[in-house]
Amino acid sequence: MAFISLRDNLDLSTPSGRLMFQIIGAMAEFERALIQERVRAGLRNARAKGKRLGRPRVVVDASRIASLREQGRSWSQITAEMRIGKGTAQRAFAGLPKIGG
């Protein structure tokens, strides 16, 4: 059983249909490679101009998180008050030096 596209006039049961399918596939691969090349060139150009790429860093006051935890606040309360994510707060807290241990 062969694929036949009536809209595109493409019949994969014939040699000419298979050739057309391969040509279409090769053109799609070529177009994808061109897009990748343009994206990489754009990123190189942005870096050369000193642009910062990626997600912006969040400045976190780890000592404030530690004091809130000492007051018995939950992670949900801390993250709501400081307007940061739970993972960000926990990473900042875990990065603090341990006292008395």
Q: How many domains does the chain have?
A: 2
Amino acid at the residue 91: R
Q: What is the pLDDT of residues 15-38, one digit of tens each?
A: 888 898 899 999 999 999 999 999
Residue partners of 60: CB distance under 8 A and separation at least 6: 82, 84, 88, 89, 92
Distance CA 39, CA 33 (A): 10
The answer to whether 85 and 79 are in contact (CB under 8 A) is yes
> 21 is in which domain, residue-wise?
4-48
**Residue 101: inside a domain:** no
Same domain, yes or no, for 8 and 44? yes
Q: Could you report the per-residue pLDDT of 37-49, keeping only the tens digit for each? A: 999 999 999 999 9
* 54 part of a folded domain: no
Residue 67 forms part of a structural domain: yes
Asked whether residue 53 is domain-assigned, the answer is no
What's this model's pTM, rounded to 2 decimal places?
0.53
Q: What is the pLDDT of residue 7?
A: 74
